[in-house]
Structure 1
Amino acid sequence: MRRLRLSAAVLVSASLLLAGCGGGDDSSSSGDTTPDAQKVAGGSTLDSTWPLTGLPVSGDASASQDHPVLVAKMDNTYSSAPQLGLSHADMVVEELVEGGLTRLAAFYYQDIPGDVGPVRSMRASDIGIVSPADATVVTSGAAGRTIARIKDAGIPFFQEGAKGFHRDSSRSAPYNLFANLTDVAAGIDQDDARPDDYLPWGSEKDFPKGQPAKTIAATFSGGHTTNWTYQGDGYVNENTYAAKGDEFPADTVLVLRVQVGDAGYLDPAGNPVPETKFTGKGQALLFHGGRLVRGTWEKKDLTSNLTLSTAAGKLDVPAGHTWIELVPAANGNVTFK
């Protein structure tokens, strides 16, 4: 885990617990413009690519930033419309929450925007989602037992009351909390080590042929379905709540079938809170370029990086912006055509 140092003011804010709420090698040639290799959290080096997309660093940018990966927990219901900030995200993970609804974990590293949201609460499921990126969570809070588990896992978080959070009076609570990520990042001082790659990145030319699949329906327990259509240059979320022009630019949709357990408590409405078990192994469906490649995902423990494979061997994700669907293996479903 990379070192994280918070100002005293931020530490005080972050202690206000809320109840559960709803490139290539270096060259001496003057014509070589390939970016230098970057330091990685584990002490080794990787080519100058962004850790959450695998895309190359351009110009004078660096894949080693002076802030951690920020993960904003965002509402994903009709009441959240319009969602702000998804177009700036490197990657998004959609996870099951109580009542058969879903919530988004939007990852930001390359581009730290202003307001994102609506910001909602954390779940224990987030431990396995954010840990591999050494991420800091931006949240409205969480239930007491979730806060305890998040702290035990060593995951830093900022919640309402910290710098950058504000309520939008034109919206109804609890769907009116937003966070200015530029302000949040300014309150964090840490070593500028490049995080490890979140996914096993590869190139477009090495992506297996697979089978045609231009529409996707990822159905979560309880009936919520996220629909995707491939439109030649990427995937469009047909039922997004994102503001017009602020949609996530998905190059790839990665569906992982996961086990889901009981978090052990109820939400304020009396619904059991589910917990995605993001460890072990399961079925993976990798959609890219209007094609589907079937495989298996594996994650040894909550902090481990995700690996993908097929019967032929290792499976890489083409570099780009990826939306990950954590669909329950037992009660969820995935259809495509």
Structure 2
Amino acid sequence: MTGPSGGYEPGVDALRRRVALVAGLLAALLAACTPGGTPPDGGDSSGPAPGGASVLAVKIDNVGAARPQTGIENADVVYAERVEGGLSRLMAVYGTRVPGVVGPVRSARETDLELLGQFSRPTLAFSGAQRALLPEIAAAPLRAVTPDSAGGAFSRGADRPAPHNLYLRPGKLGHPVSGTNAGTLAGFTFASRAPEGGSPLSHRTVRFPAARFDFTWSARQHRWLVSMDGRPATTTSGTRLTAATVVVQYVDIHDSRLHDKLGNASPVSRTVGSGRAEVLRDARAYPAHWTRPTPTSPTHVTPPKNTTPLPFATGPVWVLLAQAPGTGGGRD
């Protein structure tokens, strides 16, 4: 089982496929640890896919025990979203290239399904999901990849305890990316020259209820240096994680009907609609407005009173889905 190819075909065959997918995803939740060693360092192992496949999105663990993560530095876009208990989780999205190893891989959330609608038939790699969410994943226009559906692509590392040690080897999924920048597919515009305006900025902190992200401008690297929960964020090789552009996207975040095993409500970040944003690039902060009218629409980021796209710097984009003021708990 490789996940739905479309999920909307009529008839008995479509129903059987839907049932098989749900059963496979349920099995993924119960899968035991897969034997394996510490993930090796790896370069790109998967090139562009024939036929214009979209992107590979991987859910990444982001608690202290999961760091340093592997392969995030190769992502075109990294989304930070709020999960249970006010903690954060990352979704690394690859369109131009993928690393040999990505992880640690964790479970999917309702937020992911709406967010990924802006990409055309993406592949979503994750460790499992809550039982009540599985039918929605089965119906979503994406290819779901779990340890049960693609066991040969996942392994457990010996460097840290479960559940913080599940890794994906994207090369074993075939060619899951199109070669087109995931940021471009998401609706972002890129330009080497910074736009006019903005305010000088050297440091920005974004807080979730139980997580913190810091971005510090490095003139030498001409990038924002990433820190998480007060510590420099690095790759497994010790290199500092950086972003060319940071987007603080203010969204409505509210509790869903789902809860974790401790009783914490699972939050949902709504990325369809419109709202305020802030764009950081070239040591400057730009007030912005984001718009995404439908689940299949890209996200357009513009100046507050202008429909012209606000150009991002060429390079990795980090998007933080922050609580919009006046819409609930949490702050940035």
- Given the two structures, how large is their TM-score scaled by the length of structure 2? 0.77
Q: Structure 1 pair 145/317, CA: closer, same or farther in 2 (3 Å)?
A: farther
Q: Verify the 8 A CA contact 2:97 2:179 in the aligned structure 1.
A: no
| 1:146 partner SS | helix
Which residue number corresponds to residue 200 of structure 2? 212
Q: Structure 1 pair 246/13, CA: closer, same or farther in 2 (3 Å)?
A: farther
Matching of residues 1-337 of structure 1 within 5 Å: 4=5, 15-17=24-26, 18-19=28-29, 67-134=53-120, 135-161=122-148, 162=150, 163-186=152-175, 197-205=185-193, 207-220=195-208, 222-232=209-219, 233-239=222-228, 240=233, 242-310=235-303, 311-318=305-312, 319-329=314-324, 330=327, 331-334=329-332
| 1:132 partner SS | coil
Distance in 2 between residues matched to 1:63 and 1:288, nearest whole Å: 31
Instruction: Name the stretch that deviates more: 101-110 or 233-242.
Output: 233-242
Q: Verify the 8 A CA contact 1:215 1:230 in the aligned structure 2.
A: yes
Aligned residues: 285
Alpha-carbon distance, 1:202 to partner: 3.4
Can you give the 5+ residue segments of structure 1 that lack an aligned partner in the other structure? 22-60
Q: Structure 1 pair 250/100, CA: closer, same or farther in 2 (3 Å)?
A: same
Alpha-carbon distance, 1:244 to partner: 4.1
User: What's the % identity of the aligned pairs?
Assistant: 27
| 2:117 partner SS | helix
Alpha-carbon distance, 1:208 to partner: 2.6
Alpha-carbon distance, 1:200 to partner: 2.7
Larger proportion of helix: 2
Give 2:330's aligned amino acid: G
Q: Verify the 8 A CA contact 2:5 2:142 in the aligned structure 1.
A: no
Distance in 1 between residues matched to 2:23 and 2:167, nearest whole Å: 16
Give 1:160's aligned amino acid: P
Instruction: Name the stretch that deviates more: 238-247 or 285-294.
Output: 238-247
Alpha-carbon distance, 1:69 to partner: 0.8
Give 1:110's aligned amino acid: T
| 1:125 partner SS | helix
Alpha-carbon distance, 1:170 to partner: 3.0
Alpha-carbon distance, 1:14 to partner: 8.4
Q: Structure 1 pair 267/242, CA: closer, same or farther in 2 (3 Å)?
A: farther
Deviations 1:60-92 (A, max 9, x none): x97977653111100011010221001111110
Q: Verify the 8 A CA contact 2:55 2:119 in the aligned structure 1.
A: yes
| 1:110 partner SS | coil
Alpha-carbon distance, 1:268 to partner: 1.5
Which residue number corresponds to residue 52 of structure 1? none
Alpha-carbon distance, 1:296 to partner: 1.0
Alpha-carbon distance, 1:235 to partner: 0.4
Alpha-carbon distance, 1:130 to partner: 1.6
Q: Structure 1 pair 208/150, CA: closer, same or farther in 2 (3 Å)?
A: farther
Q: Structure 1 pair 193/70, CA: closer, same or farther in 2 (3 Å)?
A: closer
Q: Structure 1 pair 14/242, CA: closer, same or farther in 2 (3 Å)?
A: farther
Distance in 2 between residues matched to 1:127 and 1:308, nearest whole Å: 21
Can you give the 5+ residue segments of structure 2 that lack an aligned partner in the other structure? 7-16, 32-46
Which residue number corresponds to residue 34 of structure 1? none
| 1:284 partner SS | strand
Alpha-carbon distance, 1:106 to partner: 0.1
Q: Structure 1 pair 200/89, CA: closer, same or farther in 2 (3 Å)?
A: closer
Q: Verify the 8 A CA contact 1:285 1:294 in the aligned structure 2.
A: yes
Q: Verify the 8 A CA contact 1:14 1:158 in the aligned structure 2.
A: no
Q: Structure 1 pair 241/172, CA: closer, same or farther in 2 (3 Å)?
A: farther
Q: Structure 1 pair 156/247, CA: closer, same or farther in 2 (3 Å)?
A: farther
Q: Structure 1 pair 177/13, CA: closer, same or farther in 2 (3 Å)?
A: farther
Give 1:114's aligned amino acid: G
Alpha-carbon distance, 1:247 to partner: 4.5
RMSD: 2.9
Q: Verify the 8 A CA contact 2:22 2:135 in the aligned structure 1.
A: no
Give 1:116's aligned amino acid: V
